Amino acid sequence: MSSNLIEVLVPIPLLEKFSYLLPKDLHSNPPKPGSRVIVPFGKRTLVGVVWKIDTEKGNKERKYKYIKEILDLEPLLDKESLELADWASRYYHHPLGEVISYFFPPSLRKGKEAKFLEAKFFELTNKGEFFDLAELSRAPIQRKALELFRSKKEFSQISAKAYGISSSALNALLTKGLISKYTRELTPYKKQDKSSVGSGKKKLNEEQQYAVDSLNKAKDGNTVFLLNGITGSGKTEVYLQAIKNIISQGRQALVLIPEIGLAPQAEERFKRYFGERVLSFHSAKNEREKLDAWLGASKGLVDIIIGTRSSIFMPMKNIGLIVVDEEHDLSFKQAERFRYSARDMALYRAKIKNIPIVLASATPSLETLNNSLVDKYKVLNLTKRATGAKLPKYIPVGLRGKELHEGLSDELVGLTEEELTKGNQVLIFLNRRGYAPSLICRSCGWVSNCERCDAHMTVHTSPLRLHCHHCEAQKEKPKSCPSCSANDFQSYGYGTARVEEFLKKRFSKFPVLRIDSDTTKKKDSLNSYLSSIKEGKPMILLGTQLLAKGHHFPDVTLVGILDADSGLFSADFRGSERVAQLMTQVAGRAGRDKKPGKVILQSYCPEHPQIEELITGSYETFALTLLEERKSAKTPPFSFQAKIQAESPNSYISRDFINDLLISIKKNGALSKELRLVGPLPSIMEKKSGVFRWEVNVFSTNRKSLHEFLDLSQALLYRPSTSKKVRWSLDIDPISVM
């Protein structure tokens, strides 16, 4: 029995792997691991992926079902992809069947063919070549068509039409055997002349050159590089030139970027440099484009893939280098279901492949910084701006007791005026979209709380409505106060839309571009904003973190940070790290080119040591202080962390669920002394989207004991007897407490 069994992964949130029988006529030619098959599953049929052949002994008691169909004769995933999936499934404690589905684009998950678009072609046969044309004298149209075939040899269906060959003529020639028909895949990718690659490259400064040389030397081993360069130091230029070297050896590069909004720009910069065999990959691509990119990369027809988080799963025929740009960025971590970190998976992928990987950032995460301090990573420093510009000057502005103009101090308004008049651009940063964070009743103190979340609903204008940014609930602004019936509302606090209103009035001669997720919902709208900024006319750019990431705005000379305090007093131990990264990134948009830049940092507590550190020191000195704090608190990166969260419509049920789980784990002896448990506690936002959330956070300096704990937790959580009233999640290396 054993020789006919095949282990198949199905995209189902269950831990087991399922075995199927191979039909007799396929015994001599079984499907290979990494190819897709169709299998019955309960009452359904599913597309599964062959995992192992012949491994299970077979259980006589059990009735196995037959594989229904083999979809791929050759495996679609190579050994390394299978190994990466296996590792990720064990590391993140997520079912392998779901993990493996991330390696396929949607059409392949649905079982469609792994092919480029196909087209019909017609080709001259031998018979057609030597056929006596006189025999067609009574069929002049066929004769004319045959003559065309003799001069061109083949036509696609479309080009035949363009040449005036009718389908009846084609059919007649086919019947007579003068031409034959076949279908062919049309690859959208062309061969490229490698000599044109790298045109327009810049002459590197000494530090950049050293970095490129180091990367070039490392091509045949798994070295992890931290490309630690201040904002505008030419990090991109460095990895572009390193990629050039990789491509000239006939290998491929994968570049991960944090934000889909950055993809078109990045693709354009890469195309200018490398020509057409560059492709961006992200969620906004349609199914066909995703499949084409996937096929192009896995067949080695594309040299470079630039993409967001999910590109880490992209198979590549001959990958030679991975770059993770802005490696500190939170978007590399998926926040639901399979909670992987694309950066960490990239590190493992590079290890399996034995290739170098570059983590680039002006504000490296504390994990990465620590790894470079203990010499696990090799650091390449870029300490100067590539254009020769200086880092901007910080001007702290204390806000206590000051009259503000919708959040702007007199100082900021004055300097904005000055810079605009000089013909420069000003960037105002506020990480809060909408008009105002809450609506209050001035008569009784009622506040616009969300009914489903522990949060206020944000006031939005045009149209005037209340939105919850946590559960997406929306409603009309009430006509009168729900609590006291008065009609005396006030929008409390300010968001980008409110600041925009003020700026437009105050600086009416200049355009104000508000850039946040509300104004950039439409496809390509961010891109059109970015191109109008590039024109360089004086204007105000106002926005959220969308504006802070990676952009190069040569004409911005003043950056105003409206609220440097938000995040400083956060309950999350990672809060300070985030603020420092965000502030440094935002500030880094100023003075990147010929004109020097200034940064106004508004704060209610400018004398706060962390704000002072940011102003007088650098991100790095700040981060080193934070690392010391983490070390004494034994929080990551000085320990490993996992979070188990439970949610249900009833707070007690969620609490008891976590409690009971911990009791079972204790009974089973997997609660080692090396583990530090924080919780069960209600999550910081306990109520969200109508459910109540409790969690336990587990810290350990010993990865093995944490893994034992998680293995057992996972086994208990996936038991069929686990309460269905509760939704739970396991998060390894969580990045937020929300």
Contacts to Zn ion by CB under 5 A: 441, 443-444, 446, 450, 452-453, 468, 470-471, 473, 481, 483-484, 486
From the list ligand ADP, Zn ion, none, pick the one residue 387 interacts with, judged by a Cβ distance below 5 to 8 Å according to partner type. ligand ADP
From the list ligand ADP, Zn ion, none, pick the one residue 232 interacts with, judged by a Cβ distance below 5 to 8 Å according to partner type. ligand ADP
Return the range that interacts with ligand ADP (CB under 6 A); candidates 224-232, 626-634, 658-666, 692-700: 224-232
Residue of 229, 315, 680, 734 that binds ligand ADP (CB under 6 A): 229
* Residue in the block written with tokens 């036509």: 155
Burial of 183 (0-12, 13-18, 19+ CB in 10 A): exposed
For residue 241, the minimal CB distance to ligand ADP (Å) is 10
CB 699 within 8 A of CB 675: yes
From the list Zn ion, ligand ADP, none, pick the one residue 468 interacts with, judged by a Cβ distance below 5 to 8 Å according to partner type. Zn ion
54: number of CA atoms within 13 Å, CB side?
7
Q: Which residues pair with 36 in a beta bridge?
A: 49
Is 202 a binding residue for ligand ADP by CB under 6 A? The answer is yes
Return the range that interacts with ligand ADP (CB under 6 A); candidates 13-21, 36-44, 234-242, 250-258: 234-242
Return the range that interacts with ligand ADP (CB under 6 A); candidates 174-182, 233-241, 292-300, 336-344: 233-241
One-letter amino acid identity for 217? K
For residue 207, the minimal CB distance to ligand ADP (Å) is 10
Q: Name which of 385, 479, 495, 485 is nearest 437 in CA terms.
A: 495
Site size for ligand ADP, by CB under 6 A? 16
State which residue, 300 or 682, has the beta carbon closest to Zn ion: 682
Q: Which residues pair with 695 in a beta bridge?
A: 645, 681
Return the range that interacts with ligand ADP (CB under 6 A); candidates 203-211, 463-471, 491-499, 671-679: 203-211
**Cα distance between residue 4 and residue 34, in whole Å:** 17
Is 424 a binding residue for ligand ADP by CB under 6 A? The answer is no
From the list Zn ion, ligand ADP, none, pick the one residue 522 interacts with, judged by a Cβ distance below 5 to 8 Å according to partner type. none
**Cα distance between residue 50 and residue 29, in whole Å:** 14
Is 235 a binding residue for ligand ADP by CB under 6 A? The answer is yes
- Burial code (b: 16+ CB inside 10 Å, e: under 16) for 702-714 equals eeebbbbbbebbb
From the list ligand ADP, Zn ion, none, pick the one residue 483 interacts with, judged by a Cβ distance below 5 to 8 Å according to partner type. Zn ion
Residue of 34, 105, 128, 232 that binds ligand ADP (CB under 6 A): 232
Is 205 a binding residue for ligand ADP by CB under 6 A? The answer is yes
Residue of 234, 275, 320, 495 that binds ligand ADP (CB under 6 A): 234
For residue 720, the minimal CB distance to ligand ADP (Å) is 51
Is 233 a binding residue for ligand ADP by CB under 6 A? The answer is yes
The alpha-helical segments, DSSP class H, found in 249-356 are 263-274, 287-298, 342-353
**Cα distance between residue 532 and residue 553, in whole Å:** 11
The alpha-helical segments, DSSP class H, found in 153-224 are 157-162, 167-175, 206-217
Is 386 a binding residue for ligand ADP by CB under 6 A? The answer is yes
- Kindly report the CA angle at 182 between 179 and 184, in degrees rounded to 5? 140
From the list Zn ion, ligand ADP, none, pick the one residue 9 interacts with, judged by a Cβ distance below 5 to 8 Å according to partner type. none
State which residue, 481 or 541, has the beta carbon closest to Zn ion: 481
For residue 441, the minimal CB distance to ligand ADP (Å) is 47
**Cα distance between residue 592 and residue 231, in whole Å:** 8
**Cα distance between residue 214 and residue 216, in whole Å:** 5
Q: Which residues contact 86 (CB under 8 A, 6 or more apart)?
A: 96
**Cα distance between residue 299 and residue 120, in whole Å:** 22
Is 237 a binding residue for ligand ADP by CB under 6 A? The answer is yes
From the list Zn ion, ligand ADP, none, pick the one residue 229 interacts with, judged by a Cβ distance below 5 to 8 Å according to partner type. ligand ADP
From the list ligand ADP, Zn ion, none, pick the one residue 470 interacts with, judged by a Cβ distance below 5 to 8 Å according to partner type. Zn ion
Check whether the bond before 482 is cis (ω within 30° of 0): no
Residue of 107, 125, 157, 387 that binds ligand ADP (CB under 6 A): 387
Footprint (CB under 6 A) of ligand ADP, residues 518-557: 552
**Cα distance between residue 9 and residue 12, in whole Å:** 8
- Which two tokens mark 458? 């944000």
**Cα distance between residue 733 and residue 463, in whole Å:** 40
- 35 phi, psi to nearest 5 deg: -100, 160
In the complex, the residues that contact ligand ADP under the rule CB under 6 A are 202-205, 208, 229, 231-237, 386-387, 552
